Chain A
Amino acid sequence: MLSKTAIRSRQLLFLMLIARVSFSYTFIASLSAGNCVQDILPAIPVVAVIDLLLFIPILRLLKRHPGHDLIDCIGFSLGKGFGAAAVAFYFLYFAGAGAVLLILFQQFYLSTMDVQASSVALALPLVIVAAYGAIKGIESITRFSIFAIVFYLIVVIFVNVAMAPYFNIGYLKPMFYNGPRVFLFAVVAGVASSFQILILAMCTPFLKPTSSLTKITLLWALLSFTAAGIMQFNIVTVLGPFGGRQLFPFKTLAIFSTIPPFERLDAFLMIAWVIDSVLGLTLYVFLASQCLMHTKLLRWRRSMIAATAAVIYAASQIFLPDYIKNLNQFFGVPLAAAFSVAVVVLPLIALIADLVKERVSGNHASGEKVV
């Protein structure tokens, strides 16, 4: 799908970055790490390397069809039938990501701010704002991402500066005392949460033609994992095993932080969280509806966005109670399986099909010449 809208590679990079840091790093340490919370730290560079390797098929596929998004590429490589299936699959994937983000926001709000709030009333305005943002289009979303990243950086810098005197390097030891369980789980959860490459894959048509996809991906990996490393380092060295028991360890860290005249910095973190949630949700509504634009529904764009937002809202309300009960399980197999299919398996099959098709057509061409 070709587009007249143009965004800069830097804008897309910020969008991917904020989507990554807001998705799981703020709470991943809570995954029952306990006294082995430090084992999460070495997982971060490992996740970065694995991510870059796993992104090779998707990047190669996109390079072979410049100006087209992932669903177009799959359609070109595997035919219209697979293209339609890809539309349905990626629509569900992005809608699912949006629903998870909405559930996380609701859970965060209900756990830390107002236990008596209504989840129904809480999510509704957020979804309406997200739908409005999605209607405004990718340019507005990317512009908002710059503000979100600036605010996020301010919060992270504040918390880091405030907590610097309390660093206890002793908490970094020993590594793998209870075996590699925590490390491996962090790797799986980290890789499975790195689906933001799909933002790049879906927004390629909006990028200025001179943009380098590889460069954006490398920078994204470097920056997002640096940000994650800093955040996790703080959690481990300041909170120690206590951080491994927290549902929202970075928020706990912000509660401990004091920079005069602010007695606690968690209010800032909450603002950042709300901004990131709005941005993330808007993005996933946009991307999910963008999948539908590959069908004949293109002329009902606004209605499609509204319908997508409604689906995300309904899914969040249905799955919220189950998610809370199965928090740890969610970041294991289900997320990893969805990630594998969306980011690795489908693009890889499409790439192989593309290469085979090219070879066959090449052979035909050379054969014709011989004849």
Chain B
Amino acid sequence: MQVAKRLCSILLLPCIALSLCSCMPSHELKELGIVEGVAVDSSSDGFSLTFQLYNPKGGGGSGQEQGGGGSSEELVVTGSGKSIYDAIRNATLAEGRKLYFSNARIFVVSEDICKGSFSAIEDFFERPVEIRRDVNILVARGRAADFLTSKKGGKLISAMDFSDVIKNSYVSSKIVNMNIGTMSIRSSDGISDLTLAAVGVSKQENGDAELRVEGTAVLRDNRLAGYLTDLETRGLLWATGKVNSGILVLGLRNGGRVSLEVVKSSAAIRVSEAGGKPSVNISVKFVSGVAENENSNVNLTDKQEIQELEALQEQEVKKEIEQMIDRGVHGCDADILGLGMMFYQNKPALWRKISPHWKELLRTLPVTVTVKSSIGNLGNITQ
């Protein structure tokens, strides 16, 4: 009985503690402008911010652009200022409610800002306590505000909905999923460079806007250095072991096509030193399954034909990785794979020598890529 009492006490005490979290500082829901997405553009006096807010009333006040028809649940508010926080506080001049960022899902940063200095807003992402670490950071090709003010069927396209595109990026493995948390960890070493998903707005024939991910923005020393295409983005994900899905379409000599779905992958990057010079080896292993066999006449029960397919998919993946290296590492001189950090960790003596001119060295850094794969399943049919 005594033991049971003690056990009950121990179980109850955390409950009491949880209820003592208190309601201070308290925020009345009706007094908060719940931010779902933020777009950051440059302006003549510093920064211009566009906020997409959740609107529980279904209506917007003066100075606010509403989704349309009163049925939309988003509205747009803007503010500008000398700094990001200044712009946020200035937005309340039009909105009235205090902007609340705990529910924000995406931050879209304009190309202009990234070309100038991304670090100006990096601090803003890291310092405040209200913003969650899992908010995605995107780079807009053009004005960031366009991204949050685009309409489809007369309604604002919800930032919340678009965040699902990033959340489900593993399906295509063509999107870099970088949130504030991973970005902060990555950039804090002062060596690695950032890659962020690039997004754009396109107009459809009926006038509706379409938001889509358009490759990856490469930032060198926190400045936009270039973009990777979809396939180069996948090359980046291959090299970092983040591809666990996606389709490889292989063109065969007979004109047919076989589509293979990636089941899982792993990657290892090894840095080495030869004659006082750095070199890098990237090895990737993956397993795929046949998803589609289009006029190829491939006999999937024939071991030799399977091996040929495996060799083909290895070539394809190797090509994607090499293209990524050519453009992102050699072309942009950007350490998007975190290679410098690896030299620092594994070859500190060499790093001491090469670190002063590391970014210049990236241009000619020899990188070898080895890919091994296997086809793990054929689906329900043998041809």
Chain A residues close to B by CB (< 8 Å): 35, 111-114, 116-117, 147, 150-151, 154, 170-171, 173-174, 177, 239-242, 244-245, 255-256, 263-264, 267, 270-271, 274-275
| B181 / chain A contacts, CB cutoff of 8 Å | 255-256
| B25 / chain A contacts, CB cutoff of 8 Å | 113-114, 116-117
Q: Roughly how many angstroms separate A242 CA and B126 CA in the complex, as a whole number? A: 10
- Kindly provide the distance from the CB of B82 to the nearest chain A CB, expressed in whole angstroms: 20
Cβ 8 A contact of B24, one of A111, A114, A150, A244 = A114
Encoded as 1 (CB less than 8 Å from any A CB) or 0, chain B from 321 to 362 comes to 000000000000000000001101110100000000000000
Contacts A147-B10, A150-B10, A151-B14 given; does A35 touch B189 at CB 8 Å: yes
Contacts A112-B129, A170-B342, A242-B184 given; does A267 touch B10 at CB 8 Å: no
* B13 located at the interface, meaning its Cβ lies under 8 Å from any Cβ of chain A in the complex: yes
| A240 / chain B contacts, CB cutoff of 8 Å | 185, 188-189
Q: Roughly how many angstroms separate A278 CA and B12 CA in the complex, as a whole number? A: 19
* B379 located at the interface, meaning its Cβ lies under 8 Å from any Cβ of chain A in the complex: no
| B185 / chain A contacts, CB cutoff of 8 Å | 239-240, 242
- The dominant DSSP class at the B interface is helix
State whether A170 touches B345 (Cβ < 8 A): yes
Top 4 nearest A-B pairs (CB, nearest first) are: A242-B188, A174-B348, A114-B25, A173-B345
Give 27 pairs: A residue, B residue, CB < 8 Å, sorted on A: A35-B189, A113-B25, A150-B10, A151-B13, A151-B17, A154-B14, A170-B342, A170-B346, A173-B348, A174-B344, A174-B345, A174-B348, A177-B344, A239-B185, A240-B185, A241-B188, A242-B188, A242-B189, A255-B133, A255-B181, A256-B133, A256-B181, A267-B21, A270-B21, A271-B17, A271-B20, A274-B20
Contacts A112-B129, A256-B133, A256-B181 given; does A241 touch B17 at CB 8 Å: no
| B381 / chain A contacts, CB cutoff of 8 Å | none
| A116 / chain B contacts, CB cutoff of 8 Å | 25
| B344 / chain A contacts, CB cutoff of 8 Å | 35, 174, 177
The A-contacting residues of B in range 72-120, CB under 8 angstroms, are: none
* B4 located at the interface, meaning its Cβ lies under 8 Å from any Cβ of chain A in the complex: no
* B255 located at the interface, meaning its Cβ lies under 8 Å from any Cβ of chain A in the complex: no
Q: Roughly how many angstroms separate A240 CA and B181 CA in the complex, as a whole number? A: 12
Q: Roughly how many angstroms separate A116 CA and B24 CA in the complex, as a whole number? A: 11
* B18 located at the interface, meaning its Cβ lies under 8 Å from any Cβ of chain A in the complex: yes
| A171 / chain B contacts, CB cutoff of 8 Å | 345
Chain B residues close to A by CB (< 8 Å): 10, 13-14, 17-18, 20-21, 24-25, 129, 132-133, 181, 184-185, 188-190, 341-342, 344-346, 348
- Kindly provide the distance from the CB of B100 to the nearest chain A CB, expressed in whole angstroms: 14
- The dominant DSSP class at the A interface is helix
Taking CB as reference atom, which chain B residue is nearest A251?
B129
Taking CB as reference atom, which chain A residue is nearest B346?
A173
- Kindly provide the distance from the CB of A178 to the nearest chain B CB, expressed in whole angstroms: 10
Cβ 8 A contact of B190, one of A177, A239, A241, A275 = A241
A-B contacts besides A35-B189, A170-B346, 15 pairs, CB < 8 Å: A35-B344, A112-B129, A117-B25, A150-B10, A154-B14, A171-B345, A173-B348, A174-B345, A177-B344, A240-B185, A242-B184, A255-B133, A264-B132, A271-B18, A271-B20
Taking CB as reference atom, which chain A residue is nearest B347?
A174
Q: Roughly how many angstroms separate A248 CA and B18 CA in the complex, as a whole number? A: 21
Taking CB as reference atom, which chain A residue is nearest B129?
A112
- Kindly provide the distance from the CB of A352 to the nearest chain B CB, expressed in whole angstroms: 46
- Kindly provide the distance from the CB of A19 to the nearest chain B CB, expressed in whole angstroms: 19
| B133 / chain A contacts, CB cutoff of 8 Å | 255-256
| B21 / chain A contacts, CB cutoff of 8 Å | 267, 270-271
Q: Roughly how many angstroms separate A147 CA and B132 CA in the complex, as a whole number? A: 30
- Kindly provide the distance from the CB of B128 to the nearest chain A CB, expressed in whole angstroms: 10
- Kindly provide the distance from the CB of B278 to the nearest chain A CB, expressed in whole angstroms: 15
| B13 / chain A contacts, CB cutoff of 8 Å | 147, 151
| B129 / chain A contacts, CB cutoff of 8 Å | 111-113
Taking CB as reference atom, which chain A residue is nearest B26?
A114
| A147 / chain B contacts, CB cutoff of 8 Å | 10, 13
| B342 / chain A contacts, CB cutoff of 8 Å | 170
Taking CB as reference atom, which chain A residue is nearest B9?
A147
Taking CB as reference atom, which chain B residue is nearest A116?
B25
- Kindly provide the distance from the CB of A200 to the nearest chain B CB, expressed in whole angstroms: 25
Q: Roughly how many angstroms separate A171 CA and B186 CA in the complex, as a whole number? A: 12
| A263 / chain B contacts, CB cutoff of 8 Å | 132
Taking CB as reference atom, which chain B residue is nearest A239?
B185
| A242 / chain B contacts, CB cutoff of 8 Å | 184-185, 188-189
Q: Roughly how many angstroms separate A264 CA and B184 CA in the complex, as a whole number? A: 17
Taking CB as reference atom, which chain B residue is nearest A171?
B345
State whether B348 touches A177 (Cβ < 8 A): yes
- Kindly provide the distance from the CB of A254 to the nearest chain B CB, expressed in whole angstroms: 11
Q: Roughly how many angstroms separate A233 CA and B140 CA in the complex, as a whole number? A: 38
- Kindly provide the distance from the CB of A182 to the nearest chain B CB, expressed in whole angstroms: 15
- Kindly provide the distance from the CB of B364 to the nearest chain A CB, expressed in whole angstroms: 25
| A154 / chain B contacts, CB cutoff of 8 Å | 14
State whether B345 touches A35 (Cβ < 8 A): no
